[in-house]
Structure 1
Amino acid sequence: MKTVTALAPNGATLLGTAGQGGSTPKKWLLLRAVEEAREPLGLKSTSLNVLRAMISFVIGDQISPDQDDHHVCFASNAAIAKRTHVSVQTVERHISALVELGLIRRVMSANGKRWARRDRQGRVVAATGLSLMPLSERHAEFIEEAQRHADRVLEFTVLRDKVSTALARLRELVANDATISDLMVTARNALRRKPDANVLSELLAEISVEISEIKRTDSDNLRDSDNEIEGHKEDSLNPIVKKEEYSQIQVSPDQMERSFPRLCSELRFARDQAHCDRLMDDIAEYLRFGQTWYAMKSTYGPALRFLVLGYIFQRAENIKSHQAYLISLISKIDQGDIQPTALLTQNSK
């Protein structure tokens, strides 16, 4: 049975291992972290190409302070321009941008030139130029920034999808209401552009209110037309009733072990419910559920959380985005498309 640690990709190391026996990431992994954090850093593609060319001039696979030529690029701007396929003036401009962003550091001589001094064996013993050490020093920062940006993009995408789905639902419920038509036009125009998240949230709230009003009106009309169903409430549409039902889900130990052996293996030595909750939080953090998991914790009981976490954890390697999958799964459960106990059946197959 694989543990959380065993599920990590080959060669992956925890950020906390730096300086505790963990090896420094190779120089191209350092570049990848910057590339993934490109948007929040405000990096242009040409700046990345210049940085890539500079890294290619550094000796060895790692950016290291041990020797100057392991972190200092002493190639001329002309050499960098040739490798990047841009002009020398463009290289100068983007080097200044990289220095300003703190991605590289100038290590210049008194005359402002870049040079390298070699011993009789041809080894570089001293060099001046552009140090790439900030890439190594800020590696963890870039990874965290990239993850925060990915979370923001995902949250925005989910919000946009919710507005689109709500708009489609509203279109089904109304025909030729002028007020509603204006709202639908506004929403469609917003979705065609790249709207602000606040604009989408306001649109979603407005559309949801309109849908609720239409459903309430239809329900009132239905009760007025048929006395036999006076006061009837459909529990499956009542979110309070839903949450109460979800909190009462019962799952036997045999069902747990049979359906979610991986999660059960991780929780087997939990001392109490509080310890079990902390272990589940750790797994959710490993899967990068983000705030979606904690929002779910404040809404649903431990049984449903166990079912959803076990279901996703059991098939973690086959899911590209665990947080997006969690959002989709909870949405389907809320809408009644999937019954929570069906997750046990699907994993038992």
Structure 2
Amino acid sequence: MQTGSVTTPFGRRPMTLALVRRQVATSEIKAGKSVEKWKVFRDASEAREALGLQSNSLAVLDALLSFYPENELRQEAQLVVFPSNAQLILRTHGMAGATLRRHLALLVESGLIVRKDSANGKRYARKNNAGEIENAFGFDLSPILARSEELALVAQKVVAARSAFRRAKENLTICRRDVRKLISAAMEEGADGDWADIEAIYVELASRIPRSPTMTDITNILDEMELLREEIINRLDSQENSQFNSSNAAHIEQHIQNSKPESLNELEPSSEKEQGAKPSKPERANVEPLKAFPLGVVLKACQQIADYGPGGAVGSWRDLMSAAVVVRSMLGISPSAYQEACVVMGPENAAVAVGCILERANMINTPGGYLRDLTRRAERGEFSLGPVIMALLRNNGGSLLRAV
């Protein structure tokens, strides 16, 4: 392979150290290495944006590869192609000359090809007496062979990122549909709740989706939209359970009233000693843990607590819980109050509750008493962190947290 020496560009094109490194790298290709040229072209196409190329750049690369007679790029083969600009224009379907030259330069800058210029800048091949190419001047395709593994890896990452982006967009579309229809159903069927305010939150979230969103945009809005959906479902579920419990209580009360008094007297013990019963301790209600919210959403809502994390930052749920312990002590919340909150709400949600209290500390007279009140309400299924977090996210000056 005729790539063992460094050649400088013809004319006014400058020589750079990057160009030197690329030419040296082509001389260090592993012996016997080969790659199917159209496979590496597909990888380069997938990695186009990462390489700083445009669609016309790929058209020019496709044309250059078409001038290489074999299907495989091999380390021991002659990898310099030498088509004229006129021939390249034909194979790029009439691309303008200035456009062709610009994209040839882009391919060189991206490190996919190297110019091997002759003394006069012309592209040609010199053959020996046996008719074999002895030396050629034009465009060296060796860098494509040298970087084949790198291009394949970049292409895989690009495909994976594109797939993840598509899934995130689909999830956001489904979540938006769910929220919109749940709100409409609640309003049309007269469910209790401030559905106009919830609808306003939904409209504000939807309006923040850019025309051309990035993965970060989609992820952040999806986290908040999923949080809103969970809050709506929890509210509707709480109402359904409340209606069921009220109906069931009325049914039981009616059943007791219709029962015969003597039958109740027979079933009711006259004393614990007569029945041999032991005094029973009141059992703790079977509390369903509150659902942990995405950490990114929590940190957006509770920005102050990050200052109390390890090293002055919070990067994980463990960091948030460590910060909550510091804040708990600072706010004067007793260890027992915080421990009870952890048992009822779960340690993650207890930490979130402390973060919310910190955000509104100037409005809360007794943080410890307030946390105990939240814990009791959570134990009865009457408290959800969703409205608090959404209120803090909106940062509209109002607060769902009130001093006790």
Normalised by the length of structure 1, the TM-score is: 0.55
Q: 1:224 to 1:90 in 2, by over 3 A?
A: closer
Alignment of 1:154-233 (within 5 A): 154-175=163-184, 177-188=195-206, 193-225=211-243, 226=245, 228=248
Q: Deviations over 1:194-230 (max 9, x none)?
A: 312222222222222222322333344344441558x
Q: Secondary structure at the match of 1:106?
A: strand
Q: Secondary structure at the match of 1:63?
A: strand
Q: 1:62 to 1:218 in 2, by over 3 A?
A: closer
From 70, 82, 85, the counterpart of 1:74? 82
Shift in Å at residue 191 of structure 1?
5.9
Output the aligned Cα RMSD.
3.1
In the alignment, which residue of structure 2 is the partner of 1:146?
A: 155
Unaligned runs of 5+ in 1: 1-17, 240-349
Query: Quick check: which has more Rg, 1 or 2?
Result: 2
Q: 1:25 to 1:65 in 2, by over 3 A?
A: closer
List structure 1 runs of 4+ shifted beyond 6 angstroms: 231-235
Alignment of 1:31-46 (within 5 A): 31-46=41-56
Larger RCO, structures 1/2 (Cα 8 Å, 6+ apart): 1
Alignment of 1:119-138 (within 5 A): 119-138=128-147
In the alignment, which residue of structure 1 is the partner of 2:24?
A: none
Normalised by the length of structure 2, the TM-score is: 0.48
Whether contact under 8 Å (2:37, 2:65) holds in the other structure is yes
Unaligned runs of 5+ in 2: 1-28, 188-194, 250-284, 293-404
Q: Secondary structure at the match of 1:217?
A: helix
Q: 1:129 to 1:20 in 2, by over 3 A?
A: closer
Structure 1: distance between partners of 2:56 and 2:167: 31
Alignment of 1:43-54 (within 5 A): 43-54=53-64
In the alignment, which residue of structure 2 is the partner of 1:109?
A: 118
Q: Deviations over 1:236-262 (max 9, x none)?
A: x989xxxxxxxxxxxxxxxxxxxxxxx
Shift in Å at residue 119 of structure 1?
1.6
Q: 1:61 to 1:88 in 2, by over 3 A?
A: same
- What one-letter code is carried by the residue in structure 1 that aligns with 2:105? S
Shift in Å at residue 134 of structure 1?
0.8
